C-alpha cells in the first residue's frame, strides 16, 4: 500500500488511523521476525496521536517509520550503537518530526541502521541483523537498511532515512524501493545525530515516486534551528511530476560505467536510459573527470567530521558510562572502548589522524580542494544537461558477511553515490529491473538520477517517467 492508497481509505471510511496502526503492528509482528528492520515501536503513543488525527492534512493519520538516528521526544534513539542503547531517551523532537506532525503524519517505529550511520549494509549495527526481504540471505544495504527493508517488506508505509554518502539511495536500490536524498540545506538536520555535518541529509524511502515527493514537500523548508538550512521556497514537486521527459537533456557520465559494474546492473540501467530516450529525452554523453578521486576524498572528509562529532560521546553527559574508572581519562577511554563498535572506532582513528598536526595539509586540506573540483564537475555538467542518470551501485545486494573483515571493499561500494554528497546536490534511486547475482535470483537494481542543487522537482519528474 502507498501513502496515497492509505489516504483514500481513510477518506472513504474504509479504515481509520487507529485501526490501521493495529493492523500495521500485526504486520510487524508477523513479517519483521525474519527481516529485523524495527528496533522498537511504541503502539500506545501512536494510537494516542491517531485518536486526534486530522484527515484533511496532506499526511493525515499516515504512520511514518523513523531511522534510529533522528530524535523523537520520549523515544529511544540508539543510532545502532551500544553507547546509546542502554539509557538514552530523546529529550526533544527533530525538526523533520515537527514538520511531519504538522502535515498530519504519525511517527511510528524506530528503524535499525549501521552504527552512527557508518556502513553500507546495516551489518555494523550493534543491536541486530537486518535482512533483505527480497532475499533474507542478503544485506538490505545501509546505513538506512532498516528503513528500506521495512518499506520493501510491507511492514511500513514509508520511512525516513539519512544519507551521508549514499545511505538512502543504496539501500533503496538493494530493496527495490524509492529513496530520495535532498540537496544539502533543503531539509533541516536539527535533531539528526551527526555523522559528517557537511554531508548528512534526511530524506524519504517509499514505494513510489509520488509518495517520495509528498514526504519531501512535507519536511523540506527553512529552519532557524539549523544554521545550514536554506531560506528558499519549497517547489511543488507533485504538480509537475507527470510532465514526462520530452525535450529534457539527460547526461550519462562515462566514469560510472567502467570496470567493476555487474553486467546485469549495466543492462538494466542502459535499458532504462533507452526507454527514457524513447519517451523523448535527449541522451548526452558527459564526463565527471574527478570521480576517480571521490572515494578517497570522502573517506578523509567524512571520518574527520565524525571524529569531531563523536567526541561528545565521553561517558559523562549521556549514553554509556564505564564502571569504576581510575580517573577521568580512564572514564573516557573505557566508555568509548566499550560503547563504540569496530567500524566507528576505525573511522574515528582515521579522522583524528588526518586532522592531526603535521597531516592536516597533506590530507584534510587536499581533500577539501578535491571536493571543490568534484562540485565544479557537476556545475559544468548541469550547464549541458538537465539531470544525470547512472547506476546507484555496481552490484545488487551482496550476501550477508561477504565483506567481513574487508572495509575497503565496502567503502568502494559507495563509489556511485558519495559524489552527490560531496557536491551537495540531490539524488534519487528508482527501481529499474531485477537481475541474478552471486547465486541470487531476481535481485532489484536501481537507477540513480542526480540534479543540480535544489533540483528535486526535476529528478523526481525523471524518476516518475522511469517508474511509469
Q: Could you give the CA distance from residue 303 to residue 354 in angstroms, rounded to a whole number?
A: 9
**Set 67, 99, 181, 334: catalytic member:** 67
Cell numbers placing 38: 524495527
**Set 95, 143, 173, 419: catalytic member:** 143
Residues 6+ apart with CB under 8 A from 320: 82, 83, 84, 86, 87, 335, 338, 339
Q: Could you give the CA distance from residue 125 to residue 118 in angstroms, rounded to a whole number?
A: 9
User: What backbone phi and psi angles, to 5 degrees, belong to 324?
Assistant: 55, 50
CB atoms < 10 A from the CB of 253, how many? 22
Active site residue 419: no
- Alpha helical stretches, state H, 242-320: 263-278, 294-309
Q: Quick one: how far is CA 165 from the chain centroid?
A: 8
DSSP string covering 349-377: HHHHHHHSTTTTIIIIIHHHHHHHHHHHH
426 touches 401 (CB < 8 A): no
Active site residue 167: yes
Q: Which residues of 258-275 are buried (b: 16+ CB within 10 A; e: fewer)?
A: eeebbebbbebbeebbee
Coil/strand/helix, residue 290: helix
228 touches 191 (CB < 8 A): no
**Beta-strand pair 427-437/440-450:** antiparallel
**Set 81, 155, 167, 188: catalytic member:** 167
H/E stretch holding 463: helix 456-467
H/E stretch holding 45: helix 43-50
**Beta-strand pair 159-162/202-206:** antiparallel
Residues 6+ apart with CB under 8 A from 201: 162, 163, 164, 181, 182, 183, 184, 186, 187, 189, 421
38 touches 110 (CB < 8 A): yes
| Residues carrying an active site annotation | 67, 143, 167
Amino acid at each position: 500500500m502507498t501513502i496515497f492508497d492509505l489516504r483514500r481509505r481513510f477518506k472513504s471510511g474504509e479504515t481509520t488511523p487507529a485501526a490501521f496502526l493495529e493492523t500495521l503492528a500485526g504486520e510487524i509482528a508477523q513479517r519483521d521476525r525474519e527481516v529485523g528492520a524495527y528496533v522498537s515501536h511504541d503502539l500506545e503513543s501512536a494510537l494516542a496521536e491517531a485518536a486526534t488525527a486530522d484527515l484533511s492534512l496532506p499526511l493525515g493519520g499516515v504512520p511514518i517509520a523513523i531511522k534510529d538516528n533522528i530524535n523523537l521526544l520520549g523515544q529511544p534513539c540508539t543510532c545502532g550503537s551500544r553507547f546509546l542503547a542502554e539509557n538514552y531517551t530523546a529529550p526533544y523532537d527533530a525538526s523533520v518530526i515537527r514538520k511531519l506532525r504538522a502535515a498530519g503524519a504519525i511517527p511510528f517505529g524506530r528503524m535499525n541502521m549501521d552504527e552512527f550511520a557508518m556502513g553500507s549494509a546495516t551489518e555494523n549495527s550493534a543491536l541486530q541483523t537486518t535482512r533483505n526481504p527480497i532475499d533474507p540471505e542478503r544485506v538490505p544495504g545501509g546505513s538506512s537498511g532498516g528503513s528500506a527493508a521495512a518499506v520493501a517488506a510491507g511492514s511500513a508505509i514509508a520511512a525516513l532515512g539519512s544519507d551521508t554518502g549514499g545511505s538512502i539511495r543504496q539501500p533503496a536500490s538493494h530493496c527495490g524501493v524509492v529513496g530520495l536524498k535532498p540537496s544539502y540545506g533543503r531539509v533541516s538536520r536539527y535533531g539528526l545525530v551527526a555523522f559528517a555535518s557537511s554531508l548528512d541529509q534526511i530524506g524519504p524511502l517509499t514505494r513510489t515516486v509520488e509518495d517520495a515527493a509528498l514526504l519531501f514537500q512535507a519536511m523540506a523548508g527553512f529552519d532557524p534551528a539549523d544554521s545550514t538550512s536554506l531560506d528558499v521556497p519549497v517547489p511543488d514537486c507533485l504538480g509537475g511530476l507527470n510532465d514526462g521527459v520530452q525535450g529534457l537533456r539527460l547526461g550519462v557520465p562515462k566514469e560510472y560505467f567502467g570496470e567493476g559494474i555487474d553486467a546485469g546492473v549495466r543492462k538494466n540501467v542502459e535499458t532504462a536510459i533507452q526507454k527514457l530516450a524513447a519517451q523523448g529525452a535527449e541522451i548526452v554523453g558527459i564526463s565527471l573527470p574527478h570521480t576517480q578521486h571521490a572515494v578517497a576524498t570522502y573517506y578523509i572528509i567524512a571520518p574527520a567530521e565524525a571524529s569531531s562529532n563523536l567526541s561528545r560521546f565521553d561517558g559523562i553527559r549521556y549514553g554509556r558510562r564505564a564502571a569504576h574508572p581510575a580517573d577521568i581519562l580512564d572514564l573516557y577511554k573505557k566508555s568509548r572502548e566499550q560503547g563504540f563498535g569496530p567500524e566507528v572506532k576505525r573511522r574515528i582513528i582515521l579522522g583524528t589522524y588526518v586532522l592531526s598536526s603535521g597531516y592536516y595539509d597533506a590530507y584534510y586540506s587536499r581533500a577539501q580542494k578535491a571536493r571543490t573540483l568534484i562540485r565544479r564537475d557537476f556545475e559544468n555538467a548541469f550547464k549541458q544537461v538537465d539531470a544525470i542518470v547512472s547506476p546507484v551501485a555496481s552490484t545488487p545486494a551482496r550476501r550477508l558477511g561477504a565483506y567481513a573483515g574487508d572495509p575497503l571493499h565496502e567503502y568502494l561500494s559507495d563509489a556511485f553515490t558519495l559524489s552527490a554528497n560531496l557536491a551537495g546536490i540531490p539524488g534519487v534511486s528508482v527501481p529499474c529491473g531485477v537481475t541474478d547475482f552471486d547465486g541470487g535470483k531476481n535481485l532489484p537494481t536501481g537507477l540513480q538520477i542526480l540534479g543540480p542543487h535544489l533540483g528535486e522537482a526535476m529528478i523526481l519528474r525523471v524518476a516518475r517517467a522511469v517508474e511509469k
